[in-house]
A and B are shown apart, each in its own frame.
Chain A
Amino acid sequence: MNSNLYQIQNIFKRYGKKDILKDVSFSIPEKSIVGLVGLNGSGKTTLSSIVSGLKPCTSGDVLLNGKTAYKNIDEYKRTIGLCPQRTNLDNRFTVRENLINDAVFFGISDERININLKKVIKKFNLEKYLDFKPAALSGGYKQRVSIARALMHEASLIILDEPTLGLDPNTRKSLWDVVKNLKEEGCSVLITTHYMDEIEGLIDKLCILSKGKIFFDGTVDELKKNKNSDLDKIFNKLAEEECE
């Protein structure tokens, strides 16, 4: 697993005449979990797609270890594991084939594929489901397979876009345990969510996105200290301000 520092610098994203992201800058240190929090429509998914190298930004840069990602976007993509809101696993293949195909597409050697496959099967309890098509899995297991797929190609930054959306509380808790584990593996994780309470104890760093701008960038403790309040109250206040 590589250890990398990702820097998002002055990102602007415009769709037509609407600015979705305005001068967004933050960093994702190595082996850390960063929470990207914001209300619906604040630009979280767009930003995570830009960080993943999937979508272009209107201006700004994404740096990996000080070098622009756009100079060799294919090399940059090798370091990323994108797990979108709707797990886009290929339903024509079994879970096993989805995992193996991913590693093969990313150019991982056969020897490493076998090692990684055994590791992710154990880590995510996938043994029983390997020959299932993803469509037959529950939402929680689809998310697990999606994260496992990212680990198959040894991504150093896993991007989880609203990973617990539509999941029951138990499944959500077990998914957060999985995320905690990723850090111990040496990965950095970028989580976008609007469940502040759930990620409070999990993240090393918090970025709050409001109306396409970074409202806060720092640790949870710094935020509490600055605003002299708990996370839920801060978030609710932000929501009220956005509604106004």
Chain B
Amino acid sequence: MKMIYKLKSLRETILNRSVRSFIKSEVSVTIKSLKDAIINSVIWSAMIAVTSGYILQSFGMSKNYGEFQAASLITSAVGFETYRTIFRLLSDIEGEKIILYYFSLPIKSNVVFFRLCVIFALNGVIMSTVTLLVLKAVLWNQINIANINFALFYLVVIVIASLFATFSIFLTAYTPSMQKIGNTLMRVLFPIWFMGGYQFSFAAAKSISNVVACMSLVSPYMYANEAMRGIILSSGEFIPIWKCLTVLVIMTVIFWKIGISKIKRRLDII
């Protein structure tokens, strides 16, 4: 009964004109600023693709390492938005406080956070597409995009984007000030990125040490990378996509619940 009421309330919220306009305005701003984000993504992914697909191979790295890195690169392109979002949220909270204007609107305060997830998902879809195209152009025969199930690809991208959106809210809530943002980067974001299988698969970690493999499972990047590898790579042993998606969804719900409640307390809003 409670679930039906919640779903009904969610449906009403989505159909609400104020809510739709609120989200639409942010989408329009995001689209206007896409040019810079695309240029950044092209430069970044092209450089890494050249390194992992050609330079490292000349030092004896496996021939399909370029393809392997391609999957991690797409995940990272979505995940790296996390730092930018924490930076943006914190600088606003400590400066202009535009977020408080949004909380003064006659809409549920969760919609302000939901909007962040929508923007993350939109960015994720665009950035992953751009990165995939750049990777194909640079790696050419090393990657076969004809084998990719694009419906599944974009489903995974949206789930990953939602996870990192809620993770941004969660980390913003626990970062005390702009001065401490470096600590969040060095103590949380970089470790989970490196330990999250950017350069290795879960199976590879397990073959070396069970402890290392277990540690890597704490990082959401591991599930995101493994799911993406399952879609992009033609062969290899990875955690099944449905298992990765389940864990990512559970993590998203946890970060959403804890992050929002903590940030609301921090901002002292209704």
Cβ of A237 within 8 Å of any chain B Cβ, yes or no, is no
* Residues of B close to A104: CB separation below 8 A: 17-18, 21, 25
* Residues of B close to A77: CB separation below 8 A: 104-106
CB contacts under 8 Å to A, within B165-204, are: none
**Which of A90-98, A174-182, A192-200, A222-230 contacts its partner?**
A90-98
Q: Contacts A54-B104, A105-B18, A105-B107 known; A88 to B98 CB distance under 8 Å?
A: yes
Q: Report whether A82 and B104 are in contact in the complex, using a CB–CB cutoff of 8 Å.
A: yes
* Residues of B close to A91: CB separation below 8 A: 96, 98
* Residues of B close to A137: CB separation below 8 A: none
Q: How far is the CB of B260 from chain A (nearest CB, A)?
A: 15
Q: How far is the CB of A122 from chain B (nearest CB, A)?
A: 24
Smallest Cβ-Cβ distance to A77: which chain B residue: B106
CB contacts under 8 Å to A, within B1-35, are: 17-18, 21-22, 25, 29
Q: Report whether B100 and A84 are in contact in the complex, using a CB–CB cutoff of 8 Å.
A: yes
* Residues of B close to A82: CB separation below 8 A: 101, 104
Cβ of B103 within 8 Å of any chain A Cβ, yes or no, is yes
Q: Report whether B18 and A107 are in contact in the complex, using a CB–CB cutoff of 8 Å.
A: yes
Which of A80, A90, A93, A97 sits near B104, CB closer than 8 Å? A80
CB contacts under 8 Å to A, within B218-270, are: 268-270
Smallest Cβ-Cβ distance to B100: which chain A residue: A88
Chain A: number of interface residues, binned into ranges: 20 to 34
Question: A75 to B106, alpha carbons, bound, how many Å?
Answer: 7
Q: Report whether B21 and A54 are in contact in the complex, using a CB–CB cutoff of 8 Å.
A: no
Question: A73 to B108, alpha carbons, bound, how many Å?
Answer: 9
* Residues of A close to B18: CB separation below 8 A: 104-107
Which of B17, B98, B270 sits near A73, CB closer than 8 Å? B270
* Binary A-proximity of B108-119 (CB < 8 A = 1, otherwise 0): 100000000000
* Residues of B close to A80: CB separation below 8 A: 104
Give 4 A-B pairs besides A73-B270, A104-B17, A105-B22 with Cβ atoms closer than 8 angstroms: A55-B270, A74-B108, A77-B106, A78-B106
- B residues apposed to A, CB below 8 Å: 17-18, 21-22, 25, 29, 96-98, 100-101, 103-108, 268-270
- A residues apposed to B, CB below 8 Å: 15, 52-56, 70, 73-75, 77-78, 80, 82, 84, 86, 88-93, 97, 101, 104-107
Counting from the closest, the 10 A-B pairs by CB-CB distance are A74-B106, A104-B21, A88-B101, A77-B106, A88-B98, A107-B18, A78-B106, A56-B270, A105-B105, A88-B97
